[in-house]
Amino acid sequence: MYLKPTTLNEAVSLLASTGGQILAGGTDFYPALGERLPQGTVVDISALKEIRGISMQEDHVRIGGLTTWTEVIRSPLPRCFDALKQAAREVGSVQIQNRGTVAGNLCNASPAADGVPPLLVLDADVELVSASGKRRLPLAQFLAGNRKTLRRPDEVLVAVLIPRRIESAASTFLKLGARKYLVISISMVAAVVQTDADGLVTEARVAVGSCSATARRLFELEKTLVGLPAKPGLGSSVSEMHLSPLSPIDDVRATAEYRRDASLTLVRRAIELCVGRL
Ligand X SMILES: Cc1cc2nc3c(=O)[nH]c(=O)nc-3n(C[C@H](O)[C@H](O)[C@H](O)COP(=O)(O)OP(=O)(O)OC[C@H]3O[C@@H](n4cnc5c(N)ncnc54)[C@H](O)[C@@H]3O)c2cc1C
Write out the residues near ligand X by the rule CB under 6 A: 21-29, 31, 45, 65, 90-92, 96, 99-101, 103-105, 107-108, 113-115, 151, 156-157
C-beta of 59 vs 180, nearer to ligand X: 180
Closest distance of CB 256 from ligand X, Å: 21
Closest distance of CB 125 from ligand X, Å: 14
**Structural contact between residues 12 and 154, judged by C-beta atoms closer than 8 angstroms:** yes
Closest distance of CB 264 from ligand X, Å: 22
214 half-sphere exposure, CB direction, 13 A CA radius? 22
- DSSP code of 101? B
Instruction: Determine the residue with CB nearest ligand X.
Output: 104
C-beta of 140 vs 228, nearer to ligand X: 140
Query: How many Å apart are CA 100 and CA 106, to the nearest integer?
Result: 11
Q: Where are the beta strands (DSSP E) in the chain?
A: 2-3, 21-23, 42-44, 54-56, 60-64, 125-130, 133-138, 143-145, 148-149, 156-163, 170-176, 187-195, 201-209, 216-217
C-beta of 53 vs 92, nearer to ligand X: 92
C-beta of 96 vs 278, nearer to ligand X: 96
Closest distance of CB 1 from ligand X, Å: 15
